[in-house]
Amino acid sequence: MDAASPLLDLTPRSLAWSARATSVADIERALARIWAAAPDAAVGPDGERHVVARTSVLNFVAVAGSEEVATRVLAAVGSLTSRHPSRTIVVEPRDAEGPRRIEAEVTATCALARGAGAAVCTETIRLRAGGDAGRHLASILPPLLVHDLPVTLWWPEDVPFHRPDFVALLMHAIQADRLVVDGSTWRGDGLAGLRGLVGAQAASGIAISDFALMRQSRWRDAIASAFDLPDLLPYLGSIRGVTVEYTASRADPAGTNVVRPLYHAAWIGSRLGWSATEPLRVEPDGRRRATLRRPRGHVELSLVPVASDLPGGATTRVRIAATRRRSRLDVEVTARPEAVVVRARLDDGEPSVRLHHAARRTDADLLAEAVESGGRDPLTTAAIRLAGALAERGAEAGT
Amino acid sequence: MTDGPASPRGPRERPLPIREERLAAIGRRRRAPRTERNPLRAGLRLERMPDPVAIVLFGATGDLAHRKVLPALYQLWRSALLPLDVRIVAMGRRPYDDSTFRQEIRVALDAHARVQPVDEETWRTFAERVEYLRGDLDADATYDELAARLEASDRDHGTRGNRLFYLATPASAFAPVVQQLGRVGLDREVSGGGWRRIVIEKPFGRDLESAKRLNREVAKVFREAQVYRIDHYLGKETVRNLLVFRFANLIFEPLWNRRYVDHVQITVAESIGVERRGAFYEETGATRDILQNHLLQLLALVAMEPPATFDANALRDEKVKVLRAVVPLADADVARDVVRGQYAAGWVEGEPVAGYREEEGVDPLSETETFVAARLGIDDWRWAGVPFYLRTGKRLPKRATEIAIVFREVPHALFRGSRSDPEPDLLALRIQPDEGILLRFGAKVPGLDVDVRAVNMDFGYGTSFSVDSPDAYETLMLDALLGDQSLFTRADEVEEAWRIVRPIVDAWVAGPPPEFPDYAAGSWGPAAADAVPGRDGRRWRRI
């Protein structure tokens, strides 16, 4: 292990120390040496002396499949540390067939307060686990967690829900309080991942934050706004069809991830008490269809791929059709750059049109929201459960 | 079994057995299916987006509009919390057009916007929604043109008949503006025709009679549910958190009463002087400017009983109840329990500053108080016998607003041998700056002997949440647009607060002239203020 060494300040407002380690025990010793080497009062670049206060309110564990993802994760977590000081552990399983090895870079960073206030210090462990060590994270991570603090596990890419070591890690080893995922990054159509997520949620009771669902918050607000008008509200009980159009790769429309378009329908259905009667099936024209039961009738769901050069799986339009007492309501919510447009039309009347802001949210924004969410969010839980029911495998017989 | 007496409601309204009543209820539901709440709104954590609206800002060229109201609107726009179909109609007397007014607010935003620098694209889209209407606030023609503009706004910009009138004008203009809005029918809400709300800035009158008069004038035109009296302190994050702190946690409420609380101190300290508002301040003074509203609102939030719901009226009912329980001050009480002061020249933050009487717009013989400290009591089951010490002043050593709950000492001093003087436990809620909550309690100093020292547990907003706290005006503006009156003051609250303050002002008017100035700028007020808690064997908290 290298001796703990002071680094040059990362920014004019922070100081950092780092060390390297090659085993879990080494990592613990490295942290101890860093804190022993860090003086009680550090002198910042501004010449002020700052009391060094080691702070953690959270254990933050991220599993990154590549160097690039690890860098992205560290950038997002780094932007939160001054407000959510945490022990952050970023694990990169490497070279599964290679020799067993552990390489860790341990860093303590102190954000300096203005003037001579206390510096808030956090710890980051970037850990590369090679060979079969990468498949036994459940044995590596527990000793590195600060005890009695909540654990958030972020798995930014495809999650191996089916692997026994994932279940062991999530449920038994680190006893995570929150699992943060991004369903829009899952491989293929993403439906297997969705089933896995529902399984994990049911088995562990863990709180879930899915960036794919969180990114749609403005869409949800826009869709809800169409029914805020008292005249249109009763139509919520008479919805007959929901159609979601999404961007799809020209080469492989069926292989496009449909988690985001499915979440729109699942959210609406979960709010209105719908259940899945026929899960999604792929039609010859590439559309996916499903049938849901509402309290007094059925709802036809269509997910419609629209060939595009844009990244696949992004929702471009949501259409809701409802009929009530021989009157028909059509609501159409369409994506615009940084906005969504809601158009509601009752029979042949003049359509009501409204624009809503829908600024893109970064990983750091979403992560902050996830960290600040307390406990299980009923909206997320119900939407994921219905999405999972619609993604059931039995329906794929129709393909 | 005999038949009971005939029902006074007649045979058609005889009481039904439960089964029949249940079936009848089902029948009624079938006949009239109604869903009153939008189920898609349930669980949305996102802030609700206000309806399309035209915001009419009276006094748009004034200091308040430039420093607070317009920056708050810009920030809401920047945070995508205003609807895209929003128009801001700025009203003023100055001979501006849209372009010159926009230039002026751009300068104001560069100086006062919460997030700097001002984003050019955001500014461009915001500015194109702002229009200027020049007019005399007393002239009928101004309001005729305003009504025409608003109709055009509905037609051309989709504002759907929703109007928010914001009175950032001198108080003398409130009643005339309200009357004129009524004259041209801009107060009227018709089904499907949009809502109409009015925001009134303090001061709400300058005494009980004028407050009642103003409330009557407003009530002639607007219903109370349309009126939003703004006290910006209620929009501050820590003030709102006070409700959460008290009523979402179990551990504090059992202690929140006369059995455990020794006394409460509420301080609103300002390091600034009257700046360029000397003429305004001359008519107001610390009592009307801060004590009557900010300090009494904070007192009400600290002392009120838990409301049954978090509904605006339930909350305000409880605040009114506690204000009604504040013990009225007799003349003798005022002489003993209230101290006023006025600052002389001194030093603040390393700079020499002028005395109040040397400030621009101030009478050289002014008797206006720039400091007031008071001891109030609340005659109710919870607080009887617990003094509430309130103080506020200008040109004090620092800017700080704080509520301190000082707990009683333990009944038996077990650690008498401790070298440190035992300090009572304390809970301090910092409103500004550095919003947060501090809990002070005794802990053993490490060592072989038993030495007890006060230690602090400190919660700071800035270090616990990644979301920046919004400015109070942003919060309140958004609430007004969403129709949430919880953080606005109701007419009866205003009148109760004036009832508490009236004897103080009356006693001063009737009494001999004060010996002003009596404290140096940069000090904690006149020496006599120390006697307010000192007479009870207590002292002001060092902030």
Q: Which of A71, A101, A76 is nearest to A86 (CA)?
A: A76
Q: Provide the shortest C-alpha distance from residue B31 to chain A (in Å).
A: 14
Give the position of tokens 């702190």: B245
Q: How far apart are CA B536 and CA B217, in angstroms?
A: 43
Element (H, E) at B185: none
By the CB < 8 Å criterion, does B542 face chain A? no
Q: Is pLDDT above 70 for A171? A: no
Strand partners, B442: B454
Q: Could you give all domains of chain B from N- to C-terminal order, each with its CATH number?
A: 19-229 (3.40.50.720), 234-409+473-534 (3.30.360.10)
pLDDT at B3: 40
Dist CA A107 CA A88 (whole Å) = 10
Tokens representing A340 are: 């969504």
Q: Which residue has the tokens 């008498």?
A: B416
Partners of A373 on chain B (C-beta within 8 Å) are 45
Strand pairing category for A49-54 and A151-155 = unpaired
Flag whether pLDDT at A28 surpasses 60. yes
CB pair distance less than 8 Å for A356 and B83: yes
Spatial separation of the C-alpha atoms in residues B313 and B310, rounded to whole Å: 8
Which residue does chain A place closest to B464, by CA atoms?
Answer: A83
Please give the residue that has the higher pLDDT: either A164 or B182: B182
User: What are residue B134's phi and psi, to 5 degrees?
Assistant: -85, 135
Helix axes A363-372, A67-78, angle to 10 degrees: 60
Q: Which two tokens stand for residue B281?
A: 């301040």
The pLDDT of residue B486 = 87
Amino acid A237: pLDDT: 92
CB-nearest to B38 from A84, A227, A358 is A227
Residue A271 has its nearest CB partner, among B42, B48, B462, at B42
> What residues 277-336 of chain A have any CB closer than 8 A to a CB of chain B?
none
Of A15-29, A208-222, B454-468, B496-510, the range with the lowest mean pLDDT is B454-468
pLDDT digits (tens, 9 = 90+) for A149-159: 788 999 998 88
Q: What does the pLDDT read at residue B127?
A: 95
Distance CA B395, CA B371 (A): 9
What is the enclosing helix (H) or strand (E) of A257?
none
Distance of residue B461 Cα from the nearest chain A Cα, in angstroms: 9
pLDDT score recorded for residue A272: 94
Cis preceding-peptide flag for B470 (omega within 30 of 0)? no
Residue A307's identity, in one-letter code, is A
Among B residues 441-480, those touching chain A with beta carbons less than 8 Å apart: 462-467
**Quick one: pLDDT band at residue A398, thresholds 50, 70, 90?**
very low
Residue A365 pLDDT grade (very low, low, confident, very high; cuts 50, 70, 90)? confident
- Please answer whether residues B168 and B69 qualify as being in contact, where contact means their C-beta atoms are separated by less than 8 angstroms: yes
Q: Are residues B182 and B220 in contact, defined by beta-carbon separation less than 8 angstroms?
A: yes
Give residue-wise pLDDT tens across range B380-416: 999 999 999 999 999 998 888 999 999 998 888 777 7
A370 against A136, higher pLDDT: A370
pLDDT value of position B244: 87
Q: How many Å apart are CA A203 and CA B472, to the nearest integer?
A: 44
B313-333 pLDDT, tens digit each: 898 999 999 999 999 999 899
Q: Chain A contacts of B40, Cβ < 8 Å?
A: 220, 223-224, 227, 236, 268, 271-272
Q: Does A368 touch chain B (CB under 8 A)?
A: yes
Shortest distance, CA B435 to any CA of chain A (angstroms): 14
Residue B25's pLDDT is 64
pLDDT > 70? residue A62: yes
Here the ipTM equals 0.79
Smallest Cα distance from A155 to chain B, Å: 21
Average pLDDT for A333-358:
86
> Cα(B285)–Cα(B298) distance, rounded to whole angstroms?
19
Are B486 and B315 in contact by the 8 Å Cβ rule? The answer is yes
What does the mean pLDDT of chain A come to?
83
By C-alpha distance, which of A374, A368, A329, A381 is closest to A351?
Answer: A329
User: A252 CA to chain B: closest CA distance, Å?
Assistant: 34
Chain segment A109-140, per-residue pLDDT in tens: 877 665 555 566 788 999 998 887 777 787 78
Mutate which of A60, A217, A225, A343 to test chain B, going by most B C-beta atoms within 10 A? A225
A124: closest CA of chain B, how far (Å):
18
Q: Are B266 and B302 in contact (CB under 8 A)?
A: yes
Assess whether pLDDT exceeds 70 at residue A8.
no
A354 and B465 within 8 Å at the Cβ level: the answer is: no
Q: Please list the active-site residues of B.
A: 294
A32-52 per-residue burial string, b: 16 or more CB within 10 A, e: under 16: ebbeeebeeebebeeebebeb
Structure tokens at A380: 């997320």
Which of A194, A339, A352, A201 lies closest to A261 in space, CA to CA?
A194
Q: Average pLDDT of A379-386?
A: 93
Cβ(A287)–Cβ(A338) below 8 Å: no
Helix, strand or coil, per DSSP, at residue A151:
strand
Both tokens of residue B276? Answer: 């360029």
Q: Give yes or no for residue A64 having a pLDDT over 70.
A: yes
Instruction: Provide, as residue numbers in chain B, all residues whose Cβ is less than 8 Å from the Cβ of A368.
Output: 466-467
Using CB atoms and an 8 Å cut-off, which of residues 73-102 of chain B contact chain A? 80, 83-85
Sheet strands (E) in B119-236: 130-134, 163-167, 196-201, 227-230
B268 membership: H or E segment, kind and range:
strand B261-269
Can you tell me the mean pLDDT for A94-116? 78
So what's the pLDDT on residue B216? 94
Contacts of B80 in chain A (CB under 8 A): 218, 357-359
Of B178, B161, B145, residue with least CA distance to B87: B161
β-pair type (B371-376, B351-353): unpaired
Rounded to whole angstroms, the Cα distance separating A78 from A11 reads 12
State the pLDDT at residue B444.
77
Residue contact A233–B41, C-beta within 8 A: no
- pLDDT at position B205 is 86
8 Å CB contact of B39 and A57: no
Say whether residue B40 is in contact with chain A using an 8 A CB cutoff. Answer: yes
**Residue position matching structure tokens 């994990």:** A200
List per-block mean pLDDT (blocks of 10 residues) for chain B, which spans 543 residues. Answer: 40 59 59 60 69 94 92 91 91 93 94 88 93 93 95 90 93 91 90 87 88 94 94 81 88 94 96 86 91 94 91 91 95 94 89 92 95 97 97 91 93 73 85 81 78 77 61 91 91 95 94 93 92 94 81
Beta pairing, strands B436-444 & B426-432? antiparallel
The gap from C-alpha A232 to its chain's centroid, in whole angstroms, comes to: 33
In this predicted structure, the answer to whether residue A53 has a pLDDT above a threshold of 80 is: no
pLDDT of residue B80: 81
Asked if B465's CB is within 8 angstroms of A372's CB, the reply is yes
A396 touches chain B (CB under 8 A): no
A359 CB near a chain B CB, below 8 Å?
Answer: yes
